[in-house]
């Protein structure tokens, strides 16, 4: 299996994030996640790790608002330039907004913090000096994985070992550790070559992906996740959100209860796969989070190691060229073995 990975992800390593209630905690979406996955991959005999190609900005700007990308490009240096003394303070380690826009009747302002509150959804989308470079490399991993399967005449698969992840990033906002929506950029690039489905199996709803494709009918988007009535991102991912305009019926959310186990999860996977078969896509983009694992610090599901193997087996039964895009998963000691177990079924 071709695996696309860049060491540039290490440029993004905030010193902390802010949890509910204002508590500062060590950043959970950290480089150790990739190290644990790489360790497990190196134990296999079927993986070939490659650097991604550079696709430039055009595929990213086809999905994301240009002014939002400009904000990601410049916000760190702009922040330091705005107050030369801030560079010598502990607060200079992470850039975060203090206020957030009420999106119904708002617009980005000229001030940096005004734009930050408009373009950033929460306090886990922490920006540091290397965040933008890491996000670009992550998107290129996803695009290279998509390019690889586009050249295949069979049910080939590839794995984009993306960090930072992407599925919480919308057209013009960052959130949930995500800055550029890697899976959406890859799926949009593939959509010029045929019909595409994005199946999101991360524990959290793929709100950014839903936002990007909600009014399109050439990309079917499906998300299986913790019910937003109790789980992040809270305001999107409900069952009655099914698309709009020509996209009506081309989005499906499966919000599941806390404690969902292998049996319930696999029955939901089967429902999603039936939808995919009816759509008859040419390509599958699999947003793959391992935070459904029983014991993940950010999840409340109880999917097991064996459950991941069966998820992979059932998805492989579609026989589709598949680009697997890494999303979440924060039980680091189990993360590598879990993702390799799933990939083994798709190789």
Residue 92 confidence (pLDDT) above 80: no
Cβ-based neighbours of 257, under 8 Å, separated by 6 or more: 227
Count of CA atoms in the C-beta half-sphere (13 A) of 166: 39
DSSP one-letter code for 227: -
Residue 116 falls inside a structural domain? no
Residue 239 confidence (pLDDT) above 80: yes
Ordered alpha helix ranges (H), 12-158: 31-42, 58-61, 66-82, 112-119, 131-150
Nearest to 13 by CA among 25, 37, 29, 24: 29
By CB atoms closer than 10 A (0-12, 13-18, 19+), residue 318 is middle
Region 172-180: mean pLDDT is 97
Per DSSP bridges, beta strands 24-25 and 17-18 are: antiparallel
Residue 75 falls inside a structural domain? no
Residue 103 confidence (pLDDT) above 70: no
| Backbone torsion region of residue 194, taken as left when φ is above 0, otherwise alpha when ψ lies between -120 and 50, otherwise beta | left
Provide the pLDDT confidence category of residue 91 given band limits of 50, 70 and 90: low
Residue 253 falls inside a structural domain? yes
**Which residues are tagged catalytic?**
168
Q: State the CB neighbour count (10 A cutoff) for residue 83.
A: 10
Residue 316 confidence (pLDDT) above 80: yes
Q: Which of 86-90, 105-109, 128-132 has the lowest mean pLDDT?
A: 86-90
Region 193-217: mean pLDDT is 98
Provide the pLDDT confidence category of residue 107 given band limits of 50, 70 and 90: confident
Residue 302 confidence (pLDDT) above 90: yes
Ordered alpha helix ranges (H), the chain: 31-42, 58-61, 66-82, 112-119, 131-150, 182-190, 207-213, 262-279, 305-316, 332-346
Q: How many domains does the chain have?
A: 1
Residue 82 falls inside a structural domain? no
Residue 272 falls inside a structural domain? yes
Q: Which domain holds residue 239?
A: 2-17+27-59+132-346
Provide the pLDDT confidence category of residue 167 given band limits of 50, 70 and 90: very high
Specify the higher pLDDT residue, 84 or 205.
Answer: 205
Residue 198 falls inside a structural domain? yes
Residue 115 falls inside a structural domain? no
- What's the pLDDT tens digit per position in 10-28? 999 999 999 988 889 999 9
Region 99-107: mean pLDDT is 74
Residue 72 falls inside a structural domain? no
Region 110-125: mean pLDDT is 91
Residue 224 belongs to domain with CATH number? 3.40.800.20
Residue 225 confidence (pLDDT) above 70: yes
| Contact criterion met (CB below 8 Å) for 250 and 220 | yes
Region 126-145: mean pLDDT is 97
């Amino acid at each position: 299996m071709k695996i696309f990975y860049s060491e540039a992800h290490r440029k993004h390593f905030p010193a902390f994030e802010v949890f509910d209630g204002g508590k500062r905690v060590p950043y959970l979406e950290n480089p150790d996640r990739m190290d644990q996955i790489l360790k497990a991959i190196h134990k296999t005999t079927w993986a070939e790790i490659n650097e991604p190609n550079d696709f430039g900005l055009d595929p990213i700007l086809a999905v994301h608002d240009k002014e939002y990308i400009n904000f990601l490009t410049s916000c760190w240096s702009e922040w330091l330039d705005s107050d030369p003394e801030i560079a010598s303070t502990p607060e200079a380690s992470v850039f975060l907004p203090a206020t957030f826009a009420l999106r119904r009747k708002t617009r980005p302002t000229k001030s940096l913090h005004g734009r930050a509150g408009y373009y950033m959804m929460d306090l886990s989308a922490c920006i540091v000096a290397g965040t933008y470079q890491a996000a670009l490399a992550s998107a290129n991993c996803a695009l290279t994985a998509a390019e690889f399967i586009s050249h295949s005449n069979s049910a080939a698969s590839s794995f984009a070992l993306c960090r930072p992840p992407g599925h919480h990033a919308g057209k013009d906002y960052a959130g949930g550790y995500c800055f550029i929506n890697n899976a959406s950029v890859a799926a949009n690039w593939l959509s010029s070559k045929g019909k595409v489905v994005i199946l999101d199996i991360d524990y959290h709803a793929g709100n950014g992906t839903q936002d990007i494709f909600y009014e399109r009918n050439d990309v079917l988007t499906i998300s299986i996740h913790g019910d937003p009535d109790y789980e992040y991102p809270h305001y999107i991912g409900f069952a009655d959100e099914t698309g709009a305009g020509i996209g009506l019926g081309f989005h499906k959310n499966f919000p599941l209860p806390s404690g969902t186990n292998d049996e319930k999860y696999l029955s939901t996977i089967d429902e999603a796969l039936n939808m995919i078969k009816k759509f008859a896509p040419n390509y599958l983009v699999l947003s793959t989070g391992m935070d459904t694992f029983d014991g993940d610090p950010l999840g409340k599901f109880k999917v097991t190691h064996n459950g991941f193997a069966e998820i992979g087996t059932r998805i492989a039964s579609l026989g589709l060229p598949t680009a697997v895009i890494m999303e979440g998963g924060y039980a680091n000691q189990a993360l590598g073995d879990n993702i390799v177990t799933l990939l083994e079924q798709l190789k």
